């Protein structure tokens, strides 16, 4: 019930039918997956300014509420969603986040519009396994460059797809742009079963920007 009402299932389902390759699933994320994704948010950032948390592919907000609950009170939370109707549904929920209707690829411009240089946390609920090789690479390059050096990037993934070529390519690309990539355990009771990746230490042009330069 909670998943139905809070997740905006009707609007989500309509978007999934309208744009199956963008939405990638008929069901919004459940509370267990939302909590897993949001777990990296608490304690993030704080380099003398309010932490900046970005959600990519926010949909109708199934994960956004968990992010808001986990974030510091003064955090700036920016939720990016490409589908105008889903973005409008999320806006109408008045969660106190800045909802931007845009393609996630424009993240650097969106951050600049909000007076932000880099994000402290990026939570991705994008359908990575539906993206082609070039799109995966382009997106991850953009997102890693938009992350603070001590920031964290996390992405949701459906476990059934773990060994598909697209998912393997995605893991390879994560390893290309982050020095640390940690998969989390599968949430078997989630529909469909899902897991996340938690990634730190973004590399710049293939180098870990936190690495000791004398090495
Ligand atoms: C798997 S759904 C997740 C929705 C919601 N966050 C949830 O967890 O239920 C993927 C979402 O990403 C959005 N999306 C797909 N490609 C996008 C892009 N390039 N930029 C922004 N949003 C995108 C879709 O419209 C859809 O709402």
pLDDT tens digit string along 96-142? 999 999 999 999 999 999 999 999 999 999 999 999 999 999 999 99
Q: How confident is the model at residue 210 (pLDDT cuts 50, 70, 90)?
A: low
Q: How confident is the model at residue 208 (pLDDT cuts 50, 70, 90)?
A: low
Q: How confident is the model at residue 1 (pLDDT cuts 50, 70, 90)?
A: very low
Confidence (pLDDT) at 9: 83
CB 198 within 8 A of CB 152: yes
Residue closest by Cα to atom 11 of ligand 1: 57
Higher pLDDT, 212 or 109: 109
Q: How confident is the model at residue 3 (pLDDT cuts 50, 70, 90)?
A: very low
| Cα 213 to middle of ligand 1, angstroms | 38
Contact 62 CB / ligand 1 (< 6 Å): yes
| Cα 38 to middle of ligand 1, angstroms | 16
Cα angle: 30, vertex 72, 190; to 5 degrees = 10
Mean pLDDT over residues 11-27, rounded?
89
Separation CA 121–CA 25 (nearest Å): 24
User: Residue 50: exposed, middle, or buried by beta-carbon count in 10 A (0-12, 13-18, 19+)?
Assistant: middle
Contact 83 CB / ligand 1 (< 6 Å): yes
CB 24 within 8 A of CB 127: yes
Q: State the average pLDDT for the chain.
A: 91
Q: How confident is the model at residue 160 (pLDDT cuts 50, 70, 90)?
A: very high
Contact 87 CB / ligand 1 (< 6 Å): no
Write down all domains in the chain, each with its CATH number in brackets.
Answer: 2-204 (3.40.50.150)
User: Residue 132: exposed, middle, or buried by beta-carbon count in 10 A (0-12, 13-18, 19+)?
Assistant: exposed
Separation CA 86–CA 82 (nearest Å): 8
Contact 120 CB / ligand 1 (< 6 Å): no
Residue 113 makes CB contacts below 8 A (sequence gap 6+) with none
Q: What digits encode the pLDDT tens for the residues 60-80?
A: 999 999 999 999 999 999 999
Confidence (pLDDT) at 45: 73
Contact 24 CB / ligand 1 (< 6 Å): yes
DSSP H helices, the chain, are 2-6, 9-18, 20-23, 31-38, 64-70, 84-92, 107-113, 133-145, 165-177
Residue closest by Cα to atom 15 of ligand 1: 22
Q: Token pair 């996390």 is at which residue? A: 154
Confidence (pLDDT) at 215: 40
Contact 16 CB / ligand 1 (< 6 Å): no
Q: Token pair 């090495």 is at which residue? A: 215
Contact 122 CB / ligand 1 (< 6 Å): no
Contact 28 CB / ligand 1 (< 6 Å): yes
Residue closest by Cα to atom 6 of ligand 1: 58
Closest C-alpha to 60, from 25, 23, 89, 27: 89
Q: What digits encode the pLDDT tens for the residues 20-62?
A: 989 888 899 999 999 999 999 997 877 788 999 999 999 999 9
Q: Token pair 């990634």 is at which residue? A: 199
Confidence (pLDDT) at 49: 87
């Amino acid at each position: 019930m909670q998943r139905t009402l809070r997740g905006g299932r009707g609007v989500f389902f309509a978007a999934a039918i309208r744009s199956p390759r963008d939405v990638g699933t008929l069901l919004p994320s459940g509370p267990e997956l939302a909590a897993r994704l949001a777990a990296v948010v608490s304690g993030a950032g704080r380099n003398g300014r309010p932490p900046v948390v970005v959600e990519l592919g926010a949909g109708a907000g199934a994960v956004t509420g968990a992010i808001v609950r986990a974030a510091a009170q003064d955090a700036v939370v920016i939720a990016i969603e490409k589908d105008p109707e889903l973005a409008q549904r999320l806006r109408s929920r008045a969660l106190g986040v800045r909802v931007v209707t845009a393609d996630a690829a424009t993240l650097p411009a969106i951050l600049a519009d909000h007076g932000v240089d880099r994000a402290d946390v990026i939570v991705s609920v994008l359908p990575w396994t539906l993206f082609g090789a070039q799109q995966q690479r382009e997106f991850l390059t953009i997102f890693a460059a938009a992350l603070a050096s001590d920031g964290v990037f996390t992405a949701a993934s459906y476990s059934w797809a773990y060994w598909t070529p697209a998912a393997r390519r995605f893991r390879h690309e994560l390893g290309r742009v982050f020095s640390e990539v940690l998969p989390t355990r599968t949430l078997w009771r989630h529909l469909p079963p899902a897991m996340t990746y938690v990634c730190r230490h973004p590399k710049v042009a293939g180098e870990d920007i936190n690495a000791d330069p004398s090495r």
